[in-house]
């Protein structure tokens, strides 16, 4: 039994090596996520909780994912469970149609639905090893921000400048055009029918155990765990109009 499993692993490893980079990407969970639907579930981290140690400690990752994100999912389910016309919508539609939702659940959907969308995007764009993207995405960054260094600088400034909790994100439209936004609290670009290519959570729960009040240090270190292959996958989906959240 053990020998057979080892042989299977050796064969699988050989196939991955032969197939090269495409296979390596296929082995990782896709960063192009389906539009979540009710009942909402907490997506598993696509890597071990220690995978982002270069920027984020294990305890923070576990608390952030297993407790905070899980609570947003539970609260979102509780908000919509007795409102079937809302529960029938995918998450992107709930957020895009927020002003039309019953007032009694609007804030709960805004906070917990926005949070579920933002955190679901957040996990898979990490777990990488930083560096700088090339290809079409690298070209788009140079075109829309001047250079990769200017993107990082603008992103970090927006993150530091966001008062209180919130997110800093790079949006991508269906033509591939990139733009930088900071949003307060758990607001999602899906509320404006826009799509985040990637982004970072600047609420203290994302960094406080290691960085305390030093948000700028967290933002600077975060680039070391950015997963450019995953973000490139999301960029290709954005170009095809297939980035749901
Ligand atoms: Mn968070």
Question: Which residues, including other chains, have CB under 8 Å from residue 86's CB and lie 6 or more apart?
Answer: 80, 94, 101, 102, 105, 109
68 CA from centroid of ligand 1 (Å): 7
Q: Residue 70's pLDDT is what?
A: 98
Q: Exposure string (b/e) for 102-120, b if CB count within 10 Å is 16 or more? A: eeebbeebbbbbbbbbbbb
Report pLDDT digits (tens) over 173-231. 999 999 999 999 999 999 999 999 999 999 999 999 999 999 999 999 999 999 999 99
CATH superfamily of 57-245: Iron/manganese superoxide dismutase, C-terminal domain (3.55.40.20)
Helices 135-145 and 148-161, axial angle in degrees (round to 10) = 60
3-state SS, 157-218, equals HHHHHCCCCEEEEEEECCCCCEEEEEEECCCCHHHHCCCEEEEEECCHHHCHHHHCCCHHHH
Rounded to the nearest angstrom, the distance between the alpha carbon of 207 and the centre of ligand 1 is 9
Stretch 73-82: mean pLDDT: 98
Question: Distance, CA 61 to ligand 1 centroid (Å)?
Answer: 10
Distance 176 CA to ligand 1 centre (A): 27
- Decide: 199 and 180 in contact? Cβ < 8 Å: no
Give residue 140 CA to ligand 1 midpoint distance, Å: 28
| pLDDT over 90 (residue 4) | no
**Model confidence, pTM:** 0.89
CA of 17 to the centre of ligand 1 (A): 36
- pLDDT of 143 higher than 70: yes
Among 8-22, 33-47, 170-184, which stretch is predicted with the lowest mean pLDDT?
Answer: 8-22
Mean pLDDT in the chain?
91
Span 70-98, average pLDDT: 98
Q: How far is the CA of 201 from the centre of ligand 1 (A)?
A: 6
Rounded to the nearest whole angstrom, what is the distance from the C-alpha of residue 59 to the centroid of ligand 1?
Answer: 14
Quote the pLDDT of residue 29.
79
From the CA of 87, how far away is ligand 1's center (Å)? 23
d(CA 216, CA 159): 8
Ligand 1 centroid to Cα of residue 13, in Å, is 35
Residues surrounding ion ligand 1 at CB below 5 Å: 201
């Amino acid at each position: 039994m053990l020998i057979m499993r080892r042989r299977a692993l050796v064969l699988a490893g050989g196939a991955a090596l032969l197939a090269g980079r495409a296979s390596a990407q296929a082995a990782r969970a896709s960063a192009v996520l389906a539009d979540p639907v009710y009942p909402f579930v907490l997506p598993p981290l696509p890597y071990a909780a220690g995978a982002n140690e270069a920027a984020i400690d294990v305890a923070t990752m576990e608390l952030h994912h297993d407790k905070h994100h899980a609570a947003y999912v539970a609260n979102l389910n509780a908000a919509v469970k007795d409102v079937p016309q809302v529960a029938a919508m995918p998450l992107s539609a709930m957020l895009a149609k927020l002003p039309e939702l019953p007032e009694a659940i609007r804030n709960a959907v805004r906070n917990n639905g926005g949070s579920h969308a933002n955190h679901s995007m957040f996990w898979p764009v990490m777990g990488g090893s930083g560096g700088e993207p090339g290809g079409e995405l690298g070209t788009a960054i140079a075109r829309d921000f001047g250079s990769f260094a200017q993107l990082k600088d603008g992103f970090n400034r927006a993150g530091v400048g966001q008062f209180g909790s919130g997110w800093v994100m790079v949006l991508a439209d269906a033509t591939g055009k990139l733009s930088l936004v900071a949003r307060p609290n758990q607001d999602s670009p899906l509320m404006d029918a826009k799509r985040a290519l990637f982004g970072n959570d600047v609420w203290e729960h994302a960094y406080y155990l290691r960085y305390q009040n030093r948000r700028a240090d967290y933002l600077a270190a975060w680039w070391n765990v950015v997963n450019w292959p995953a973000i490139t996958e999301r960029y290709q989906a954005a170009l095809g109009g297939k980035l749901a959240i």
